Amino acid sequence: MSYFASPGGLEAWQEEYAQDFSQSLARVSRKCRLVILFSIGLVAAIEISNRLSINVLLPDLQGNVAASSDDVSWLIILYNLGFLCSLAVSYWMTRVLGSRRHLLYSIALYATGAIGCFCSAHSLTWLLISRVIMGFGGGAFLVRAVVLVRLMFPGKDRVFAATWLYVELYSFAVVYPPAMGWISDTLHWNYAFLLDFPFLAVGASLIWKFVPRKHHYLRSEKSYVDAWGAGLLIAALGSMQIALSRGERDLWLQSPLIVCFLLVALVCFVSFLWWDWRPQNPAPVLHLRTIWRQAQMRASLSIITVVGAMLGASLFVLPQYLRNVQDYSAAQTGGFVAAYTAGLGIGMIIALRYVLPRLGGIGLVALGTSMMCAVCVNFIYIFTPTTPTWLLALSAFLQGTSLAQLLLGASNVSTSQATLTNQNDVSTGYFFVRQLGNTLGVSAATVMFDHRQTLHSARLIDVANRFDPTLQSTLSQYSSLIARNGGATANPTLGAIQIFQSNVITQSRLLSYIDIYLGLAVLSAVVLCLLFVSRTKDASSRIHFDFHLW
């Protein structure tokens, strides 16, 4: 039984992988494949759900660790950095360690980072270190689940396996945010990380029992470890992330430190490209030669990056607005994130089974982009400090549905024509580029928020000074209210000024979040332009059944 077409024209390592995978998969029963799918899907669901839910906890942990909004954004940025590094080396680690040991080591790393987050209730430094460890452990789960579905469930059975995996992933992703928010409200935010451990234990035990003990590597790779490639890539990503995160605060190129990090990132990245591309490298980290041969992947790199940026920025902004402007609790904010996730899951299943077969990947990207632009415009018009709960929940659901079409279409356009022997490399490359865009999106949203909040605060105060009689009347009303209800020790004048300052801060935050959604609407239009530019005759004439999980 073979799961690969004739491997003629492939490189030597691809031919060996094709034969090895065909023989290995033929010995695994369908029931065992479903158990393996469930076990890896379980740990992937926990990682995705935790990654979603951390946005709900940010305002709570910000006060506990005495961090600014810029510092708190590093919890997501550094997690994404670890996630990116793990994605980059995931296939390479699978070839060196074998799928079973790689997954078990990744679970151990992820659990170590979660324990570190639990123990770092009042230390920002240790919390950031723990988030990097969590990201490095969690980066392997999703891409392994995607590759697993594509390799172990050929033909029409792949749609069934993908639907099964969707149900598992989104069942956890809908329940997890309000559950972690409730734990944060009831106990403390760091206790929410303990929720992962029972499921990680079940997933690890199933992987230990059912995943075959198999190495998938060339004989020449047994004694070769591409330490230079991995080191150059990690150094490039780390330097780039530090420069992007600190650039706004340190005035970008005016800071010698930022210039140094940018130069290090550029030199290391160019060196990595040269090193990984060399034919003399028997086991490169990313197999860039293989990825570059995929015409659809080359044409859609910019689309994948922008889509990843939209995903990261939108998911970062919405919980911040709910906590800092609307003043919802962590559990209530988790409910809104659950509505967003429900829209994402339902949209994925509908798109996979009904929309994709009719429109194809390019049509689905166009549909998702149009829907996402409309949703962003909707948020711009409904965002106020008193927007009704039902309207926000419905808008969050529609945002998830829109992103589902966009993500599934982008995945189909970029990876659906890859042969099975190239699925590991192409899938790893796709998730790497998309997660890099996610990181850039969060960084850009953070920088834009700080810059626009400063601008809006100054303008609001300037407008208030211009309308001095109205301002004085408002302050008098605040002062009278405090004098009546504040007691003998109250200072009505000072209290009135503090209330006014609080209103300015709230309004400046609201306007900043609106500006970010305006930027997302513009990015949606950019994706449409990129889709038109990168559209090829082959991509537009064929419909492929592929899928994207997150």
Give the tens place of pLDDT for each residue, 109-168.
999 999 999 998 888 889 989 999 999 999 889 888 887 777 788 777 878 888 888 889
Q: Does residue 100 register a pLDDT over 90?
A: no
The total number of residues written for the chain in this structure: 550
Mean pLDDT of 370-387: 94
Q: Does residue 242 register a pLDDT over 60?
A: yes
Whether 39 contacts 31, CB under 8 Å: no
How is residue 64 written in tokens? 């506990």
In 3D, which of 428, 407, 411, 410 has the Cα closest to residue 291? Answer: 428
Q: Does residue 64 register a pLDDT over 50?
A: yes
Domains of the chain, residue spans:
25-226+281-285, 291-550
CA 282, chain centre distance (Å): 31
Task: Name which residue leads in pLDDT, 289 or 534.
Answer: 289
Greatest Cα-to-Cα distance within the chain, rounded to the nearest angstrom: 89
pLDDT band at 550 (very low <50, low <70, confident <90, very high): very low
CA pair distance 340, 324, nearest whole angstrom? 19
Q: Quick one: pLDDT at residue 14?
A: 52
Question: How large a percentage of the chain has pLDDT more than 90?
Answer: 36
Range from 176-180, 318-322, 486-490, 514-518 carrying the lowest mean pLDDT: 486-490
Q: Does residue 237 register a pLDDT over 50?
A: yes
Q: What Rg do the C-alpha atoms of the chain give, in angstroms? A: 25
The SS3 assignment for 223 reads: coil
pLDDT band at 294 (very low <50, low <70, confident <90, very high): confident
Q: Quick one: pLDDT at residue 78?
A: 86
CA pair distance 360, 123, nearest whole angstrom? 49
CA pair distance 299, 81, nearest whole angstrom? 25
- 4 dihedral zone (left: phi>0; alpha: psi -120 to 50; beta): beta
pLDDT band at 519 (very low <50, low <70, confident <90, very high): very high
Q: Quick one: pLDDT at residue 218?
A: 45
pLDDT band at 73 (very low <50, low <70, confident <90, very high): confident
Mean pLDDT of 423-429: 79
Q: What are 439-453's pLDDT values in tens digits?
A: 888 888 888 888 899
Mean pLDDT of 417-445: 81
Q: What's the whole-number average pLDDT of the chain?
A: 83
Q: Please name the residue ranges forming H helices in 248-329.
A: 256-277, 288-292, 295-299, 301-324
Q: Does residue 488 register a pLDDT over 70?
A: no
Using N-to-C axis directions, what is the helix angle for 30-64 and 330-350, rounded to 10°? 150
CA dihedral 451, 453, 454, 456 (to 10 degrees): 120
Mean pLDDT of 250-261: 86
CATH architecture observed for domain 291-550: Up-down Bundle (1.20)
Whether 362 contacts 531, CB under 8 Å: yes
Q: What are 174-220's pLDDT values in tens digits?
A: 999 999 999 999 998 999 999 999 999 999 999 999 887 765 444 44
Whether 62 contacts 159, CB under 8 Å: no
Q: Quick one: pLDDT at residue 5?
A: 41
Whole-structure pTM value: 0.84
Q: 109: which residues sit within 8 A by CB, 6+ positions away?
A: 133, 134, 136, 137
CA pair distance 94, 144, nearest whole angstrom? 9
Task: Name which residue leads in pLDDT, 490 or 328.
Answer: 328
CA 281, chain centre distance (Å): 31
Using N-to-C axis directions, what is the helix angle for 99-118 and 124-152, rounded to 10°? 150
Q: Fold for domain 25-226+281-285?
A: Growth Hormone; Chain: A; (1.20.1250)
Q: Please name the residue ranges forming H helices in 153-213.
A: 157-186, 197-210
The SS3 assignment for 22 reads: helix
Mean pLDDT of 482-502: 80
Q: Quick one: pLDDT at residue 214?
A: 61
Task: Name which residue leads in pLDDT, 5 or 308.
Answer: 308
Mean pLDDT of 480-503: 81
Q: Quick one: pLDDT at residue 1?
A: 37
Q: What are 1-41's pLDDT values in tens digits?
A: 333 343 444 555 455 555 555 556 666 778 888 899 999 99
For residue 419, how many other CB atoms are within 10 A of its CB?
16
472 exposure class (CB count in 10 Å sphere: 0-12, 13-18, 19+): exposed
Q: Quick one: pLDDT at residue 110?
A: 96
CA pair distance 444, 221, nearest whole angstrom? 40
In 3D, which of 287, 291, 294, 292 has the Cα closest to residue 536? Answer: 294
Whether 344 contacts 399, CB under 8 Å: no
Q: Does residue 270 register a pLDDT over 70?
A: yes
pLDDT band at 540 (very low <50, low <70, confident <90, very high): very low
Q: How many CA atoms lie within 13 A of 63 on its CB side?
A: 8
Whether 383 contacts 317, CB under 8 Å: no
Which helix (H) or strand (E) segment holds residue 460: the answer is: helix 423-466
Amino acid code (one letter) for 253: L
Task: Name which residue leads in pLDDT, 291 or 449.
Answer: 449
How is residue 7 written in tokens? 């491997």
CA pair distance 378, 317, nearest whole angstrom? 15
Task: Name which residue leads in pLDDT, 25 or 290.
Answer: 290
Amino acid code (one letter) for 384: T
